[in-house]
A and B are shown apart, each in its own frame.
Chain A
Amino acid sequence: MAIEDLFKVVKARFVDEQPAQTAEKDVEIPQDLLFKCPRCGGVVYNEEFVRAMKVCPKCGYHARLTWKERLDLTADKGSFREFDADMKSLNPIGFPKYEEKIARMQQQCDMNDAIVTGECTIRGYRCVIGIMDSHFMMASMGSVVGEKITRAFEYAAEHKLPVVMFTASGGARMQEGIISLMQMAKTSGAVKLHSDAGGLYIAVMTDPTTGGVTASFASLGDIIIAEPKVLIGFAGRRVIQDTIRQRLPDDFQSAEFQQNCGFADMIVERGMMRKRISNILKLHGFPKEVTGR
């Protein structure tokens, strides 16, 4: 390969880490009537798609959820107590138009940054939970995401709680420069601290888990679960395609591919997720709480 080609590869990789805006638009049909699957191209009525917990009825692709949808599907009703709800990003390197972008996203997504963390019960089992929302700047990891995850693991270590982390991300947040890169080390350190304290960490990889998040806390679960058909990988698909100059197989970097390669313990369908997580918590000896509600 010529040097120029390699530069192209590197460039394309970084471009690929950015929000997949076009794909996103395909998913959210404006009139809210139809869902067009980005994986199989199949079209179904949105109503049917939503009833199926946003799983494509044709191919089983588990589409992206908002943090609220994920929380509703996962936590026991009324059990969630949010951590650090007011934490907001600054503009550490003075990146052009970053504040405006953040403000717009905050309004659009009804959250202050790309992750919500807190404490909840899942079928009666208490845990610390983190939910990344890819609608917010492709859930890229900057200071706020890094700090919230770190605090969540530190809190869990202190209170002897398990952590359930729903990962989704396009990678590090370029707009925060080197500060964003450091969040990879910071969050991985916090996972280690929690692990050394005997804590259980279940990572649930959702669509898409890529870049610096795959290369840090997402890959460090004691148990790694993936949702069916979701994208999981380090480098962007297009970059790799440019390197090898041939079409990649459709299942490349899918959850199934990762399980075959040895990087995911199991693939669990959305409808079974709550039960599977609570069973794992139970097996690890955590007590079931009797709720007073």
Chain B
Amino acid sequence: MSELTACEKLELIRHKNRPTVNDYIPAIFTRFMEFHGDRLYGDDAAIIGGIGYLSDTPVTVLAQVKGRTLEENKKTNFSMPHPEGYRKALRLAKQAEKFRRPVICLVDTPGAFCGIEAEKRGQGEAIARNLYEFMTLKTPVISVILGEGGSGGALALAVCDELAMLENALYSVISPRGAASILWKDGTREKDACEVLKITAEDLMRFGVCDKIIPEPEGGAHVSKEQTADSIYEYLVDAVYRFRQADIDTLLANRYQKFRKIGMFTE
């Protein structure tokens, strides 16, 4: 396992060649087909949804889409979903439940989008509804954080039976930059904030938030897309196999407990 600090990891996940779901989906799933729209308002390109095979198992894939070029990012809004993105994800998750397909969530977002339209269409309600419904979705849900796990916008696709993180991925309640401006009134001190916030995969393993760490090639995921995709694939095949063995009641009881037990207090 790497000895990198949180802020070194932050540099790595911002690397311009860091693979995105556009690299991973074709490498991990076969015969993937995309489904569009939330059936309520529109289609949000910040979240891809669809079905395909993982090895020989049909699965539903929900993935947040970071672009690598400005052009791509304009289309996917820098992977900051609107409410219709989360509602599309929920629609497809319900569909997966109906047809007993495991759900694979690939998380990579700075956060849910903040804007007038997002507020008008109920960004808060959309995220809340996902947390609520995914908690009792009667099919296995596996989430993998690929790069940035930005707050509620990431959590909306991370109420799951098992949360895995790529070795250099980060998952945080607030961006390091945001924390720095609150802590020291100085957003440029994001590197210091990085260490304070405890946001690496290793940190999150200790808190019981992250369950598995998927290794990246020496130097980061961009060094070998293929090798990283292989590691994710192997992890997912194993996880889906394990969670499909459990009966649904046990699965849901364990999922509830996974989140229920997180918290630190005295009484």
Chain B 226-267 interface 0/1 with A at a Cβ cutoff of 8 Å (1 = within): 000000000000000000000000000000100110111111
B56 → A minimal CB distance (Å): 32
Q: Within 8 Å CB of A236, what residues of B?
A: 114
Q: Is the CB of A234 within 8 A of B124?
A: yes
Q: Given the complex of chains A and B, what is the CA–CA distance between A149 and B80 in angstroms?
A: 29
Q: Given the complex of chains A and B, what is the CA–CA distance between A248 and B204 in angstroms?
A: 38
Q: Is the CB of B128 within 8 A of A15?
A: no
A221 → B minimal CB distance (Å): 10
Q: Is the CB of A182 within 8 A of B175?
A: no
Q: Is the CB of A188 within 8 A of B152?
A: no
Q: Given the complex of chains A and B, what is the CA–CA distance between A11 and B111 in angstroms?
A: 11
Chain B 84-125 interface 0/1 with A at a Cβ cutoff of 8 Å (1 = within): 000000000000000000000000001110111011111111
Q: Within 8 Å CB of B124, what residues of A?
A: 214-215, 218-219, 233-234, 263
Q: Is the CB of B263 within 8 A of A261?
A: no
B3 → A minimal CB distance (Å): 20
B: which residues have CB within 8 A of A? Answer: 70, 73, 78, 80, 110-112, 114-116, 118-125, 127-129, 131-133, 135-136, 150-152, 155-156, 158-159, 171-175, 177-179, 181-183, 187, 196-199, 203-204, 207, 209, 256, 259-260, 262-267
Q: Is the CB of A11 within 8 A of B135?
A: no
Q: Is the CB of A179 within 8 A of B263?
A: yes
Can you pick out 16 interface pairs between chain A and chain B where the beta carbons lie within 8 Å of each other? A13-B114, A15-B182, A84-B267, A94-B198, A144-B265, A147-B263, A177-B172, A178-B171, A178-B172, A178-B203, A179-B263, A191-B132, A215-B152, A234-B114, A240-B119, A252-B119
Q: Given the complex of chains A and B, what is the CA–CA distance between A178 and B198 in angstroms?
A: 8
Q: Given the complex of chains A and B, what is the CA–CA distance between A86 and B73 in angstroms?
A: 49
Given contacts A147-B265, A233-B124, A240-B114, contact A93 B259 (CB under 8 A): no
Q: Is the CB of B266 within 8 A of A14?
A: no
Tally of contact residues, A, Cβ under 8 A: 71
A165 → B minimal CB distance (Å): 13
Given contacts A185-B159, A192-B132, contact A174 B182 (CB under 8 A): yes
A78 → B minimal CB distance (Å): 25
Q: Within 8 Å CB of A117, what residues of B?
A: none
A65 contacts B by Cβ under 8 Å: no
Q: Within 8 Å CB of A84, what residues of B?
A: 267
Given contacts A181-B152, A217-B128, A253-B119, contact A3 B263 (CB under 8 A): no
Q: Is the CB of A88 within 8 A of B152?
A: no
CB nearest neighbor in B for A150: B260
Q: Is the CB of B128 within 8 A of A216?
A: yes
* A145-162 residues at the B interface, CB under 8 angstroms: 146-147, 150
A243 → B minimal CB distance (Å): 5
CB nearest neighbor in A for B257: A189
Q: Given the complex of chains A and B, what is the CA–CA distance between A15 and B174 in angstroms?
A: 10
Q: Given the complex of chains A and B, what is the CA–CA distance between A143 and B159 in angstroms?
A: 18
Q: Given the complex of chains A and B, what is the CA–CA distance between A171 and B158 in angstroms?
A: 19
* A86-116 residues at the B interface, CB under 8 angstroms: 86-96
Q: Given the complex of chains A and B, what is the CA–CA distance between A13 and B266 in angstroms?
A: 31
Q: Given the complex of chains A and B, what is the CA–CA distance between A26 and B205 in angstroms?
A: 43
A172 contacts B by Cβ under 8 Å: yes
Which of these, A143, A172, A184, A263, contacts B131 with CB under 8 Å? A184
Q: Within 8 Å CB of B263, what residues of A?
A: 143-144, 146-147, 179, 182-183, 186
Q: Within 8 Å CB of A193, what residues of B?
A: 256
Q: How many A-B residue pairs have CB under 8 A?
A: 212
CB nearest neighbor in A for B110: A10
Which of these, A86, A147, A179, A215, contacts B128 with CB under 8 Å? A215
Q: Given the complex of chains A and B, what is the CA–CA distance between A217 and B124 in angstroms?
A: 10
Which of these, B132, B152, B177, B256, contacts A10 with CB under 8 Å? B177
Given contacts A178-B171, A233-B119, contact A93 B128 (CB under 8 A): no
B70 → A minimal CB distance (Å): 7
Q: Given the complex of chains A and B, what is the CA–CA distance between A263 and B187 in angstroms?
A: 34
Q: Is the CB of B181 within 8 A of A177?
A: no
Q: Given the complex of chains A and B, what is the CA–CA distance between A99 and B260 in angstroms?
A: 24
A sample of 7 more A-B contacts (CB under 8 A), given A182-B262, A214-B128, A233-B124, is A88-B267, A143-B264, A174-B173, A188-B132, A188-B135, A216-B127, A263-B125
Q: Is the CB of A92 within 8 A of B207?
A: yes
Which of these, B78, B123, B178, contacts A14 with CB under 8 Å? B178
A292 contacts B by Cβ under 8 Å: no
Q: Given the complex of chains A and B, what is the CA–CA distance between A276 and B260 in angstroms?
A: 32
* A203-231 residues at the B interface, CB under 8 angstroms: 211-212, 214-220
Q: Is the CB of A11 within 8 A of B114?
A: no
Q: Within 8 Å CB of A177, what residues of B?
A: 172-173, 197-199, 207
A134 contacts B by Cβ under 8 Å: no
Q: Is the CB of A178 within 8 A of B173?
A: yes
CB nearest neighbor in B for A242: B114
Given contacts A95-B196, A185-B135, A212-B152, contact A174 B265 (CB under 8 A): no
A137 contacts B by Cβ under 8 Å: no
CB nearest neighbor in B for A89: B265
Q: Within 8 Å CB of B207, what residues of A?
A: 92, 177-179
